[in-house]
Amino acid sequence: MALPRTEQTSPGHAHLDEYGTLDLVGAFIDDQAAAALAVRAAAGELARAVDAAAGRLEQGGRIIYVGAGTSGRLGLLDSVELHPTFSWPPERALALLAGGPTAVHLAVEGAEDDRDRGAQDLAALGPGPSDVVVVLAASGATPFALGALEAARSAGALTIGIANNPDSPLAAGAEVGITLDTGPEVISGSTRLKAGTAQKIALNTFSSAVMVRLNKVYGNLMVDVRATNAKLVRRAIRLVGAATGAGEDRAREAFEACGGQVKTAIVALGLGLGPDQARERLAAVKGSVRAALKERA
């Protein structure tokens, strides 16, 4: 049986351990660049995933990430970052990692081989038709991931499978299959390298694009940011100013009057409304700042 491409030996680095340090570092950097090319080649499938996911999430669904090892940790990272970046409710961004929470910082050997556990862990979350389940596995054949995929499909959830090998059962079994064909690694089989990098790029692209579709961004401004520390408060005030042309003092005043909500402050300043009126205006257009401001034209 032919080895999957992610497990094959890289033909270009048979003497890696003999490289000088600069050449060694260069080999890793150059190989990582291929990760972005692999994601670019999958742009069409990623776009399909974004449109399908946005439709489900508009109905109140959750994003549920599933994976083992590096793939699982990358999914967990994406889930955690959605709340501070886009004010996405934490209870609507979940992550399942083979081996449970312990596997975040310590490998749990054998956990990825348990297909039944993958199905059980996913089913325990009570998935439904409005949910989006993103399953990641570099090999595309991890039993834990495939078990979760089957359970998600049985529950009617949208399934998105992200793998790094062509013709994988994960991509084939998902409603939207995404193949990031990164090929052999510089260190043979170490898919934490460019396979993992490609997954990270794909997740950044997917979740950020979904949030744009869900009106979490105005222009290219991060207008649903959670200002939970001094740095983010300063950033939020700059966003209000950038969107409205208001000076810093006026932007700060509106931001504070609107309870630290960037979107509300932009609409309030743009339309000359009070905070409550601005919130009502936003609610009427599903949180779209652009649509809310059309009244100004």
Each domain of the chain, given as residue ranges in start order, spans 5-213, 230-296
For position 213, what pLDDT does the model report? 97
For position 92, what pLDDT does the model report? 98
For position 96, what pLDDT does the model report? 97
For position 295, what pLDDT does the model report? 66
Number of neighbouring beta carbons within 10 Å of residue 244: 18
Q: Which residues are marked as active site?
A: 81, 112
Q: Which two tokens stand for residue 27?
A: 């080999």
For position 176, what pLDDT does the model report? 98
For position 103, what pLDDT does the model report? 86
Rounded CA gap, 41 and 282, in Å?
A: 37
Q: Which two tokens stand for residue 278?
A: 């601005």
The yes/no answer on whether domain 230-296 falls in CATH 1.10.20.10 is no
- Output the CA–CA distances (angstroms, integers) from residue 282 to 218, 223, 278, 285, 295, in the order listed: 12, 12, 6, 5, 12
pTM over 0.85: yes
At CA 143, angle to CA 101 and CA 204, rounded to 5?
60
HSE of 116, CA atoms in CB hemisphere, 13 A: 0
CATH number assigned to the domain covering 5-213: 3.40.50.10490
**In order along the chain (297 residues), what is the average pLDDT of each group of 10 residues?**
86 93 96 96 98 97 97 97 95 96 83 95 97 98 98 98 97 98 95 97 98 97 93 96 96 96 96 96 96 79
Alpha helices in the chain (DSSP H): 21-41, 43-57, 69-86, 115-123, 143-154, 169-173, 194-213, 230-244, 248-257, 262-271, 275-284, 289-293
